[in-house]
Amino acid sequence: MFEAIGYNPETGELFNKVRRSPNAPAGAVVGNANCKNGYLSFMLGGKRYYNHRVIWYLHHGEWPEHTIDHIDGNKLNNRIENLQTCPSQLTWRRETLKSTSTRGTSDGPDPSRRDKWGEHRYHAIATLKGRKVLLGWYTTEARAKKAIKRVEEP
């Protein structure tokens, strides 16, 4: 199926070996980053393929069993040495954590959030792949810190 697609390991780019259509001449780089998720992708035979998954297939001769992770976090860097397969859960844990407070633990009790007994609730917020993620609401700061540690540990 991918006989018409080549891979340049130096640049991490896919290219057309032959002319596939008037808009896809031989030698042209394959894939565009117009996807909302930021990955390069292309259409072939009416199906969308992600460049990093096709590169894994072309290099290893089989489709990846798990999620393909970009080691440096750059979704456009598709060099094979920058790609690794791992369960998506581990991909999350590998990300750099930050929060709105010191040490990425909890930003303290939120005065507007109280449980049904009127007690303050602590929330743990982390930034994963550039997005703020609420890890949960906790009755104590220690529990909020524990939630962050579970995500930080590989």
Residues 66, 24: one domain? yes
Least confident interval from 57-61, 66-70, 113-117: 113-117
Domain span at 54: 5-88
Residue 153 has pLDDT above 70, yes or no: no
DSSP helix/strand/coil, 93? helix
Total domain count, the chain:
2
Residue 94 has pLDDT above 70, yes or no: no
Measured CA to CA in angstroms, residue 8 lies from 17, 24, 26, 55, 89 at distances of: 11, 17, 14, 9, 30
Residues 28, 75: one domain? yes
Which of 88, 111, 138 lies at the terminal end of a domain, its last residue?
88
Residues 29, 80: one domain? yes
Residues 74, 51: one domain? yes
Residue 83 has pLDDT above 60, yes or no: yes
Residue pair 97/86 in contact (Cβ under 8 Å)? The answer is: no
What is the model's pLDDT at position 152? 61
Residues 84, 10: one domain? yes
* CB half-sphere exposure, 140, CA atoms < 13 A: 3
Name every residue whose Cβ is closer than 8 Å to that of residue 103 and which is 6 or more positions away in sequence: none
Name every residue whose Cβ is closer than 8 Å to that of residue 38 and which is 6 or more positions away in sequence: 75, 76
Residues 63, 33: one domain? yes
Residues 102, 57: one domain? no
Residues 40, 101: one domain? no
Residue 62 has pLDDT above 90, yes or no: yes
More confidently predicted of 44 and 95: 44
Residue 53 has pLDDT above 90, yes or no: yes
Q: In the structure, what pLDDT confidence band is assigned to residue 66 with cuts at 50, 70 and 90?
A: confident
Residues 62, 99: one domain? no
pLDDT cut 90: percent of the chain above it: 29
What is the residue-averaged pLDDT of the chain?
76
In this predicted model, what pLDDT tens digit does every residue of 27-47 receive, in sequence order? 999 988 876 788 899 988 889
Residue 96 has pLDDT above 80, yes or no: no
Highest mean pLDDT among 1-10, 30-39, 104-113: 1-10
Measured CA to CA in angstroms, residue 128 lies from 90, 104, 110, 136, 142 at distances of: 12, 12, 22, 14, 21
